[in-house]
Amino acid sequence: MSETAASEARQVHHTCPLCEATCGLTLTVEGDRVTRVRGDDEDVFSRGYLCPKGARLADLQDDADWLEAPLVRRGNDFERVSWDEAFQAVADGLLPVREKYGSNAVAAYLGNPNVHNLAGAFYVRPLLKALGSQNLFSASTVDQMPKHVSSGYLFGRPDAIPVPDLDRTDYLLLLGANPAASNGSLCTAPDFMGRLRALRERGGKLVVVDPRRTQTTDLADLHCFIRPGTDAAWLLSILHVLFAEGLADLGAVADFAAGADEVQRAVEGFSPERTAAATGIQPETTRQVARELAAAKTAAVYGRIGTHTVEFGSLAAWAVDLVNAFTGNLDRPGGALFPRPAHARPDGEPGTGSGFRIGRWRSRVRGYPEVRGELPVATLADEIETPGEGQVRALVTVAGNPVLSTPHSTRLDAALAGLDFMVCVDPYLNETTRHADVILPPPRALERSHYDLAFYGLSVRNVANYSPAVFPAPGPSEADLLARLALVLGGQGADADPSIVHEMMIGGMIQSSVGAKGSVVAGRDPAEIRAALGDREPTDQLVDILLRTGPYGDGFGANPDGLSLDKLEANPHGIDLGPLQPRLPGFLATPSGRIELAPPPLLEDLARLESRIADAPDAGRVLIGRRHVRSNNSWLHNVSALVRGRDRCTLQVHPEDAQELGLADGAKARVSSRVGSLVAPVELCDDLLPGVVSLPHGWGHDVPGTATQVARRHPGVNSNVLTDGEALDPLSGNAVLNGIPVQVEAL
Ligand SMILES: Nc1nc2c(c(=O)[nH]1)N[C@H]1C(S)=C(S)[C@@H](COP(=O)(O)OP(=O)(O)OC[C@H]3O[C@@H](n4cnc5c(=O)[nH]c(N)nc54)[C@H](O)[C@@H]3O)O[C@H]1N2
Ligand SMILES: Nc1nc2c(c(=O)[nH]1)N[C@H]1C(S)=C(S)[C@@H](COP(=O)(O)OP(=O)(O)OC[C@H]3O[C@@H](n4cnc5c(=O)[nH]c(N)nc54)[C@H](O)[C@@H]3O)O[C@H]1N2
Ligand code: SF4
Ligand SMILES: [Mo]
C-alpha cells in the first residue's frame, strides 16, 4: 500500500444485509474499493462478530458478473441496452399479454433478498398493486409461511412472531434450526452460537431436536434425533404431558387467552407413547423435556426450517407457541416475546382487530387457498402449464431464483422457458433469469443504505442501526427500478418519472401517520412533516418517518431526544433500545382481543396428523436439506472465497445405509423421488439418523445460458429436482422440503 493510499483509507460502518443476523461490519475503504472487512467491535448488538459471508461482502462489489446494465433478449442472446430501452421492452412485452389475457395472466415471484433490502421492503407493494394479479408467489411458501398462519390465527397478526429470549432464558428447546450454519432465522441474534454458549455458561439448559447431528446439537445438553416431519406430533405430546401431569399453566396470558380447554382435549390422543414410533423419540425423553420446560424458571421453545418446511408445518408452528403459552413463557422475559422495533406502529385497541383468514381466493389449477395475498410457489408451474382462462403467460421476478429454490424445479424450469414474457429484477444472469426477456439489475449491496426493517422486528433485543450507502450507485436505485416497473404496469409509459411513485409513497405514509389514532403526530400538518424530511433517498425518508413516529421516535419535535434517521446516522454502531418487554394484550389483533389458542382450522388439521402417526413408521429413506455457513441459498456461489475447497454439495449417507446400498465414500449415487432424479457424490456421515439422507439446496449451476463464471465452476446438483410440487402443508401452502421419500442406489 502506498503512503498516499494509506492516508486516504477511511473506515465506515455498515450493517451486513446478507442474512438475518444484522452484524455490524467495519469496512476499510480506499478510493472506490473496500480493502478490509472486520466485525465492528463497537456494534451495540453484534460486538465484533461476523461470519465468513459478511467477511466477503466486499467481494460482491468486485464481482465482474454482477450486471451493471440492463439486458434484453435478442433470440438466444442478451444485449446490453440503456435503461430507457429496457423499460420500453418491458412495456412492449408485458402490457399486450395483460391486455389480451387479463391481469392474472401476469404473475410475480418475490425472492428472499427482498426482505434484506429497503427497496424490496417498500417498493414491492406499489409494484404488485400496479400488477393487479392474484397470481402472486414468493419464497415465503418455501420457508416460514406456516409461522404466519399460526400467528395469524393465534394473535390476529401473521407478522406477530414470538422470539425466544436467548439472552435471558434458562431453558431453550430448539427444533429444526442450525444457527451454527444459518446464523439464525425468525430470531435475529448476531453471534447466535455465542449466545447459546452464554446460556449454558449461566447454568441454562439447551435441548435441540434434529434428525442430524450438527454444530448446534453438539452444544446441546440433550440432542433428540427425530424422524423428519414429525415435530408437530412430538410437541403435541409435550402438551399432552403438561396437561396429564397438571403442569399446564398459562401464566400472565391466562387473563386474555381463549380455547385452553379445546387444546387440552385436542392433545388427548397424542400421548408420548402413541407418537414415539413416528417421531423416534422415546416416551421417557418426551416426558422429561415436558417436565423440565414446566419446571424451568423461564423457558423458550423455538422452531425453524426443519419444523416449517414439512407436511405438518402449520401444526408445528402452532404447537411451538402452545408450549410456550402453557408453560407460562409466552410474552414473559426469558420466554418468547414480541419485539418492539424502532419502526413499530402503535398497537391497536384489543378487540377491534379484524383477525386473520386464508382462502380469499384460490389457485386456479389445484384450488390452494391464498395466504397473505399469495399462492404456493409449488403450484407456479401448474399455473403456467395448464391452459385455460387465467393461465399465467408472463412473469415478473424480483430477487428470486425459483429454478434452484422451489420444488420440482425441472418442471418449473421448462415452464419458464415457455412463457410469453418474463422480466427479472436481479443482478445476475442465472438459472432463473436466463429465461428472461428483460433483466433489470439493481445496484450492489454497498451501493445502497440499510436499515433492517424486516429483522429488527424479529430481534432478541430492540436495536436500531442505519448504514448509509458506502459507494454511490452507478445506475438507478432498486427503488427507482421497482417504481418504474410499477409505472409501466400502471400504463404511465416506459419513460415515466419514478419520483411520481416516491412522492406517492412518502405522501401516503405521512397521511397515514397523521391520520392514525394513537400516533405521536396525529392531526399534524402533512406539509410540515414533509418539510422536516429533507432530501434523502426516498427509501430513507420512509424509514425516517417510521422511526420518528415509532415508539422511541422524536415525533417530529414532540420528543426532542427521540430517534430519527439523523440520530441513527450519528450513532454508526447502532442504538440499543433494551431487552424485549411484554407486549400483550395490546399487540393482539384478533376480533376477540384474546389469544385464540385453539383456532378451528388448526384443530381440524389434527386429523391428518392423527392418521399419519397411526400408520406404521415409514421404512423408506427420506431426504432432508442442510445449510453451510459459506452458502446463502443459491446466490453467493459466485464468490470465489465462499466456494473454494472441497465440494460441499454431497449426498450425506449414514454408514449403515451405505453398507446396505453398497455405497462408498466418494462414490456416485442416484437419488430418485416421485418427481425426479439426480446423481450426487456420496459422503459417508454418521451424523444422520439412519434412513435419512441429506443434500443441500441452492446448487446446480451448470445449466446452459448463465453468466456466473465462478458458480459454473462449482456447480453441484439441484436438490429441488427431487422435491415434490404436490407435497404441501395444506393450510399455509408451504412446500415440503424436508422428509422427501427417496430411493438411493449406487451408480
Ligand atoms: N430444498 C430446499 N429448498 C429451499 C430451501 C431449503 O431449505 N431446502 N430453503 C428455502 C428458503 S428458506 C428460501 S428463503 C428460498 C430462497 O429462494 P429465492 O429467494 O428464490 O432464492 P435465492 O437463492 O435467495 O435467490 C435470490 C435471488 O436474488 C438475487 N439478488 C441478490 N441480491 C439482490 C438484490 O439486492 N436485489 C435483487 N433484485 N436481487 C438480488 C440473486 O441474484 C438471486 O437470483 O429457498 C428455499 N428453497
Ligand atoms: N449460511 C447460510 N445461512 C443462511 C441461509 C443459507 O442458505 N446459508 N439461508 C437463510 C435463510 S433464507 C433461512 S430461512 C435460514 C434458515 O435457518 P435454519 O432454520 O437454522 O436452517 P438450517 O440451517 O437449514 O437448519 C435446519 C435444521 O433442521 C433440521 N431438520 C430437517 N428436517 C427436520 C425435521 O423434520 N425436524 C427437525 N426438528 N429438524 C429437521 C436439519 O437437519 C437442519 O439442521 O437461514 C438463513 N441463513
Ligand atoms: S452472520 Fe449474517 S449478518 Fe452476520 S456477517 Fe454473516 S451473513 Fe452477515
Ligand atoms: Mo429462507
Q: pLDDT tens across 110-163, in order? A: 999 999 999 999 999 999 999 999 999 999 999 999 999 999 999 999 999 999
Ligand number, closest to the Cα atom of 694:
2
What number does the ligand 1 atom closest to the CA of 633 have?
23
Burial class from Cβ neighbours inside 10 Å (0-12, 13-18, 19+) for residue 192 reads buried
At 616 the pLDDT is 63
Task: Examine the domain organization and report whether 317 and 205 are in the same domain.
Answer: yes
Q: Which of 541, 557, 573 is the last residue of a domain?
A: 573
Ligand number, closest to the Cα atom of 405:
1
Write out the three cell numbers for 126. 406499489
The Cα 517–Cα 591 span in angstroms is 18
Task: Examine the domain organization and report whether 393 and 539 are in the same domain.
Answer: no
Q: Residue for cell digits 416516491? A: 502
Task: Examine the domain organization and report whether 25 and 107 are in the same domain.
Answer: no
Q: Which of 544, 573, 602 is the last residue of a domain?
A: 573
Instruction: Tell me if 606 is assigned to some domain.
Output: no
Which residue's CA lies nearest to atom 31 of ligand 2? 306
As a whole number, the mean pLDDT across the chain is: 97
Q: Are 366 and 382 in contact (CB under 8 A)?
A: yes
On the question of pLDDT at 6 being above 70, the answer is no
Q: Tell me the CA–centroid distance for residue 112 and ligand 4, in Å.
A: 6
Q: Residue for cell digits 414533509? A: 530
Report DSSP state, residue 141.
Answer: G
Instruction: Tell me if 542 is assigned to some domain.
Output: yes
User: Which CATH number goes with the domain that contains 184?
Assistant: 3.40.228.10
Q: Tell me the CA–centroid distance for residue 146 and ligand 2, in Å.
A: 15
Instruction: Tell me if 364 is assigned to some domain.
Output: no
Task: Examine the domain organization and report whether 325 and 239 are in the same domain.
Answer: yes
Q: Tell me the CA–centroid distance for residue 234 and ligand 1, in Å.
A: 30
Pairing status of strand 621-624 against strand 692-694 = parallel
**pLDDT, tens digit (0-9, with 9 covering 90-100), for 50-72:** 999 999 999 999 999 999 999 99
The Cα 389–Cα 340 span in angstroms is 45
- H or E segment and range at residue 208: strand 205-209
Q: Tell me the CA–centroid distance for residue 236 and ligand 1, in Å.
A: 32
- Mean pLDDT, residues 47-52: 98
At 350 the pLDDT is 86
Instruction: Note the Cα 456 to chain centre separation in Å.
Output: 13
The C-alpha angle with vertex 48 and arms to 44 and 53, in degrees rounded to 5, equals 115
Residue from 13, 18, 22 whose mutation best tests the ligand 3 pocket (most atoms within 8 A of CB): 18
Percent pLDDT > 90 in the chain is 96
On the question of pLDDT at 1 being above 80, the answer is no
On the question of pLDDT at 335 being above 50, the answer is yes
The Cα 701–Cα 709 span in angstroms is 10
**Ligand 2 pocket: which residues have CB below 6 Å?**
19, 112, 143, 175-179, 181-183, 185, 209-212, 214, 226, 228-229, 231, 304-307, 310, 624-629, 631-633, 738-739
Task: Examine the domain organization and report whether 204 and 301 are in the same domain.
Answer: yes
Res. 417 pLDDT band, cuts 50 70 90? very high
571-593 in b/e burial notation, b at 16+ Cβ within 10 A? Answer: bbbbbebeebebbbbebbbbeeb
Neighbours of 2 (CB within 10 A): 8
Which residue's CA lies nearest to atom 30 of ligand 1? 399
Burial class from Cβ neighbours inside 10 Å (0-12, 13-18, 19+) for residue 544 reads buried
Task: Examine the domain organization and report whether 328 and 398 are in the same domain.
Answer: no
Q: Tell me the CA–centroid distance for residue 306 and ligand 2, in Å.
A: 6
User: Which CATH number goes with the domain that contains 118?
Assistant: 3.40.50.740
Structurally, the chain folds into a number of domains equal to 5
Angle of helix 231-244 relative to helix 283-295, nearest 10 degrees? Answer: 60
Q: Tell me the CA–centroid distance for residue 112 and ligand 1, in Å.
A: 5
User: Which CATH number goes with the domain that contains 54?
Assistant: 2.20.25.90
Instruction: Tell me if 357 is assigned to some domain.
Output: no
Q: Which of 514, 543, 573 is the last residue of a domain?
A: 573
Task: Examine the domain organization and report whether 491 and 502 are in the same domain.
Answer: no
Write out the three cell numbers for 451. 436499515
Task: Examine the domain organization and report whether 445 and 492 are in the same domain.
Answer: yes
At position 450, the amino acid (one-letter code) is H
User: Which CATH number goes with the domain that contains 626?
Assistant: 2.40.40.20
Which residue's CA lies nearest to atom 33 of ligand 2? 306
Instruction: Note the Cα 106 to chain centre separation in Å.
Output: 24
Pairing status of strand 106-110 against strand 450-451 = unpaired
Helix, strand or coil for residue 217? helix
What number does the ligand 2 atom closest to the CA of 180 have?
23
Task: Examine the domain organization and report whether 299 and 267 are in the same domain.
Answer: yes
Greater confidence (662 vs 2) lies with 662
Residue from 110, 116, 144, 210 whose mutation best tests the ligand 2 pocket (most atoms within 8 A of CB): 210
Percent pLDDT > 70 in the chain is 99
Report DSSP state, residue 185.
Answer: S
* Residue 678 phi, psi dihedral angles, 5° rounding: -150, 170
Which residue's CA lies nearest to atom 8 of ligand 3? 54
**pLDDT, tens digit (0-9, with 9 covering 90-100), for 645-702:** 999 999 999 999 999 999 999 999 999 999 999 999 999 999 999 999 999 999 999 9
- H or E segment and range at residue 417: helix 409-417
Task: Examine the domain organization and report whether 170 and 292 are in the same domain.
Answer: yes
- Mean pLDDT, residues 16-44: 97
Query: Which stretches within 156-299 are classed as H helix?
Result: 179-182, 192-201, 215-218, 231-244, 260-266, 272-279, 283-295
Residues 6 or more apart whose CB falls under 8 angstroms from that of 3 comprise none
Instruction: Note the Cα 291 to chain centre separation in Å.
Output: 32
At 618 the pLDDT is 66
**Ligand 3 pocket: which residues have CB below 6 Å?**
16, 18-19, 21-23, 50-51, 53-54, 183, 190
Q: Residue for cell digits 421404512? A: 619
The Cα 397–Cα 235 span in angstroms is 37
Upstream peptide bond of 601 is cis (omega within 30 degrees of 0): no
Residues 6 or more apart whose CB falls under 8 angstroms from that of 261 comprise none
The Cα 76–Cα 426 span in angstroms is 19
* Residue 461 phi, psi dihedral angles, 5° rounding: -135, 155
Of the candidates 387, 420, 417, 391, the residue with the CA atom closest to the CA atom of residue 97 = 420
Instruction: Tell me if 723 is assigned to some domain.
Output: yes
**Number of alpha carbons in the 13 Å side-chain half-sphere of residue 378:** 30
Residue from 305, 416, 634, 740 whose mutation best tests the ligand 1 pocket (most atoms within 8 A of CB): 634
Helix, strand or coil for residue 444? coil
Strand partners, 172: 206, 300
Q: Tell me the CA–centroid distance for residue 628 and ligand 2, in Å.
A: 9
Instruction: Tell me if 535 is assigned to some domain.
Output: yes
Instruction: Tell me if 607 is assigned to some domain.
Output: no
Task: Examine the domain organization and report whether 195 and 327 are in the same domain.
Answer: yes
Q: Tell me the CA–centroid distance for residue 410 and ligand 3, in Å.
A: 31
On the question of pLDDT at 530 being above 90, the answer is yes
Task: Examine the domain organization and report whether 180 and 322 are in the same domain.
Answer: yes
The Cα 635–Cα 146 span in angstroms is 24
Residue from 23, 38, 43, 452 whose mutation best tests the ligand 3 pocket (most atoms within 8 A of CB): 23
- Mean pLDDT, residues 20-29: 98
Which residue's CA lies nearest to atom 2 of ligand 3? 19
Which residue's CA lies nearest to atom 36 of ligand 2? 306
Instruction: Tell me if 76 is assigned to some domain.
Output: yes
Domain of residue 306 covers 145-343
At 362 the pLDDT is 98
**Ligand 1 pocket: which residues have CB below 6 Å?**
111-113, 117, 139, 142-143, 305, 309, 398-402, 405, 425-428, 430, 442, 478, 625, 633-635, 697-698, 719-720, 723, 737
Burial class from Cβ neighbours inside 10 Å (0-12, 13-18, 19+) for residue 677 reads middle
**pLDDT, tens digit (0-9, with 9 covering 90-100), for 308-325:** 999 999 999 999 999 999
Q: Tell me the CA–centroid distance for residue 596 and ligand 4, in Å.
A: 27
